[in-house]
């Protein structure tokens, strides 16, 4: 069984004077949220074997802040194909870069994160679909797949485990 954690980057700073969207950093609220989510993941034993991350500054910062709260080192692979390239590209990265890891964290952007999470879920699960459909910044969706290899994951086969927003973490 494979465990997939999908995380939308934490809140970014629109007023930071970044030259483009790709260069936009986190704001202070986003920094606090990323640290809170990282602590939550560690406390609840939701730590990945590998992290796949968009190349955008805000996603890389989110990954760095998460791992600051975790023991040990966690390999991070960045990919431009996780930066607003569409759900198909997103899934392609997971299939190709997941490797032998059983627990994978992917940090990306909307609408791709939402689209991938909703497409992965088994039919039904109305409440889960409603929660994930909103996917605020800094939120984490936890899914499991019955596959043994990332290259074999298929839409509609994931089981919903949890959906956590930074506001839910006290």
Instruction: Give the pLDDT of residue 22.
Output: 83
* Half-sphere exposure (Cβ direction) of 24: Cα atoms closer than 13 Å: 15
165: helix, strand or coil: coil
Which residues of the chain carry a pLDDT beneath 70?
A: 124-125
Tokens for 115?
């689209």
Instruction: Give the pLDDT of residue 128.
Output: 76
Question: Which residue matches tokens 């607003």?
Answer: 84
The DSSP call for residue 158 is B
* Half-sphere exposure (Cβ direction) of 108: Cα atoms closer than 13 Å: 30
Instruction: Give the pLDDT of residue 24.
Output: 84
Instruction: Give the pLDDT of residue 84.
Output: 87
Alpha-carbon distance 74 to 77, whole Å? Answer: 10
The DSSP call for residue 14 is T
Buried b (16+ CB within 10 A) or exposed e, 13-31: beeeeeeeeeebbbbeebb
Helix axis angle for 28-43 and 57-68, nearest 10°, is: 40
Look at residues 60, 70, 61, 72 and name the one whose alpha carbon lies nearest to residue 40: 70
* Whole-structure pTM value: 0.93
């Amino acid at each position: 069984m494979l465990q997939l954690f999908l995380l939308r980057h934490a809140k970014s700073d629109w007023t930071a004077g970044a030259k483009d969207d790709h260069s936009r950093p986190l704001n202070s609220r986003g920094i606090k949220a990323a640290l809170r989510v990282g602590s939550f993941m560690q406390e609840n034993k939701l730590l990945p074997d590998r992290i796949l991350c968009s190349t955008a500054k805000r996603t890389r910062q989110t990954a760095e802040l998460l791992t600051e709260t975790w023991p040990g080192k966690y390999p991070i692979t960045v990919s431009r194909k996780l930066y607003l390239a569409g759900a198909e590209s997103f899934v392609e990265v997971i299939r190709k870069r997941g490797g032998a890891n059983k627990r994978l964290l992917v940090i990306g952007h909307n609408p791709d994160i939402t689209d991938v999470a909703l497409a992965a879920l088994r039919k039904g699960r109305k409440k889960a679909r409603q929660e994930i459909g909103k996917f605020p910044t800094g939120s984490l969706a936890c899914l499991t797949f019955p596959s043994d290899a990332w290259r074999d994951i298929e839409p509609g086969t994931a089981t919903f485990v949890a959906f956590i927003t930074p506001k839910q973490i006290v």
